[in-house]
Homo-oligomer: A and B are copies of this chain.
Amino acid sequence: MNKTNENIKKCHKCLIKSNAANKLNFTELDELDESCVQVTFKASEIIFKQGALSSNIIYLSSGLVKIVIDGPNREQILKVIKAPCYLGIPTTVGDKINHYSAIALEKTTACFVDVSTFKNFIKLNSDFAYEVILDLCKNELDQFQRCVNLVQLQMHGRMAKQLLFFANEIYCSDEFELPLNRNDFANLLCSSREIVSKILSEFNNEGIISLNGKKIKILDKEKLQFIYQNG
């Protein structure tokens, strides 16, 4: 029955699985398959919006997403996350209201899983539950680190850190195209559009990066590392 790829069910096929989904057995994967809808988003499309009700857990199988929250003074980008990962567990599991928005930064494939199915897996498969707990724990520690960096580093340090993050964690290359415009980049670094422009120009003039619009090539990684650790 499963001889050709086409006959393999969606969730069995979706090979880039989370640690949690890896703990599911075939019957459970079938069940996931039944209650799961896959949607593809284009860049800049809203996956879910702050304030709206939510009844799905979302698993990103491919793509890049920004997590945005309306702050008292401006929009803040809490983080940029890359598939494969879960999205919106805290929101959906808690009070059902999205406390932030998720917006695609590039073509992104998302699986919407009904929260009751998700809860059922937690109930019936303790390995799955434990992996979800691990995932949430990791997110919490990461968020602490981001917060400390935002608050304690000056802009040059934050910029250096973020460029290294894009190169090392997101694109796995020293050459990449920024997925954000200057304004969004400022909202991610918690600064202003103007400062972002100025510092990028500065880094460019000093030969730390080469800059051409959104195209960035990191030329001196050690220097960036130094700026991050001393600014």
Contact = CB atoms under 8 A, between A and B. Distances in A.
Q: Is the interface of A mostly helix, strand, loop or mixed?
A: helix
Contact of A90 (B76, B93, B140): B140
- Copies assembled: 2
Interface in A61-91: 69, 71-74, 76, 78, 89-91
A101 B137 CA distance: 16
A151 interface: yes
Given A71-B152, A151-B76, A136 B129 contact: no
A116 interface: no
A153 interface: yes
- Chain A interface size band reads 35 or more
Contacts of A78: 144, 147-148
Contacts of A129: 122, 126, 129-130, 133
Interface string A123-165: 1101101101110111111011011111111000100000000
A195 to B, nearest CB: 14
Contact of A151 (B119, B122, B133, B150): B150
A143 B143 contact: yes
A120 to B, nearest CB: 9
Interface of A: 69, 71-74, 76, 78, 89-91, 93-94, 99-100, 119, 122-124, 126-127, 129-130, 132-134, 136-141, 143-144, 146-153, 157, 190, 229
Q: Sorted from nearest, which 10 A-B pairs have the closest CB atoms?
A: A90-B137, A123-B126, A136-B136, A129-B129, A147-B147, A71-B152, A90-B140, A151-B190, A71-B148, A73-B152
